[in-house]
Structure 1
Amino acid sequence: MITVSIISQKGGAGKTTLAIHLATAAHDAGIPTVIMDTDPQATASRWGKWRAGRDPDVIDCASHSLLPDKLAALERAGAMFAVIDTPPAADIMAREACRVASLLLIPCRPRAFDLDAVRTTAELAQASGKPAYVLFMAGPPRAVLLYAEAERLIEQIGLKVAPVMLPERAAFHHSVAGGKTAPELEPAGKAADDVAALWAWVSKHDSMLSRHHVIKGLGV
């Protein structure tokens, strides 16, 4: 099973927004998908309840020791793609999420305090030895110089920057209260295009897909 762990030392970085949109995009591509909510704040689980039974399923997992077994059980049950939403700290759960991951995504706003907080998360990601990318969240849609400077700082820390982002869009905020995602709320909107670009990149990530020879629906 492909497992993408969303990690960040800083609260409010956009982990849950990234997790639910990535997981729903995978589900919409025809891949059996689950969201693992390991954050005690249980934001993804609340979204799952608001979703009223629609896929993807959101599974609570409060204990790091249970995470590998739960993922294994879900894979036996047919899940092929898992997105792990982690707590806002580099604690033992975040370390376990890194250990079981195929790919690490680190959401980050392109602002000074957020960029500085990535340093701790970078240490966690680098120690895991897994492919890891910073993915910019909730920044202005068009700010070439801002993103260029932010990318330079991230590369100095020793991380790569994803070639896609989820910038500030009203649809990301308005959709979650109804248990939806931005593409479900506004299928023809710009946020839907952002999510499509995110999924296109993740689904073609060689270091992840090389571990899985046949994945229905990916078209690779």
Structure 2
Amino acid sequence: MSSFRSEPILWIHVAGLATLPISLLLCLLFLSIGEPLLPVWMELFLVAAIGVIPLLWMQFRRPFYIFAILGVALKPENLTEQQRKILCLINTNLNRVLALATAILLVGVLWQIYQVAPLVSNVARFLPQWRSAGLLLASLAFLASNLFLQIPVSIVRVLVTNDTEFAAIEPLPLEKIKQDFTILGVRVNQIVPQLVQSLLGMNKDSQEPLKSDPEQH
């Protein structure tokens, strides 16, 4: 059996970190739109609440089902034993602590972005200068930032698990998966990473006869 760390979906989610700077830059751009309508603390609270609370609530109550990407989710009944073990590591108290720490960190980043926003207001002059729309778009960009950081953080928790600890984990029962996780997207039998693994396996198999050809001659 291959190592659980070779599970493609884990690395796809980790790669999602690359979009974090983009979403934060968009948040900065939208916060620079228009003149403040509300006190500083109120605008910050609005953006932080929309960007943090939904994801934090999800991570505490029913964590994101990681075997999903781009609007499709692998059917829980199609998960391997190894994949169901991985889910056990996602729904833990340690991951909830990490989720809270991540949210606090990003709120600190949001405060810094808010301070810098007036300095880049000229960049956003091509956009309609509606402060309310800017705050809403900034909130959505901040929500995306939380998503692109919260999930990779929970994945890193899986990747640093030692093999002995992982081997001792009991696979999560099917009914618990549907009950304990937030499954977003259309449920399918296969997703792209599984297809890639199959193709790689076929390539390896196709190379084996080539090595034996000289012996046959």
TM over 0.5: no
Of structures 1 and 2, the one with the larger relative CO (CA 8 A, separation 6+) is: 2
More helix per residue: 1 or 2? 2
Question: TM class by shorter-chain length?
Answer: under 0.3
Return the TM-score normalized by structure 2: 0.26
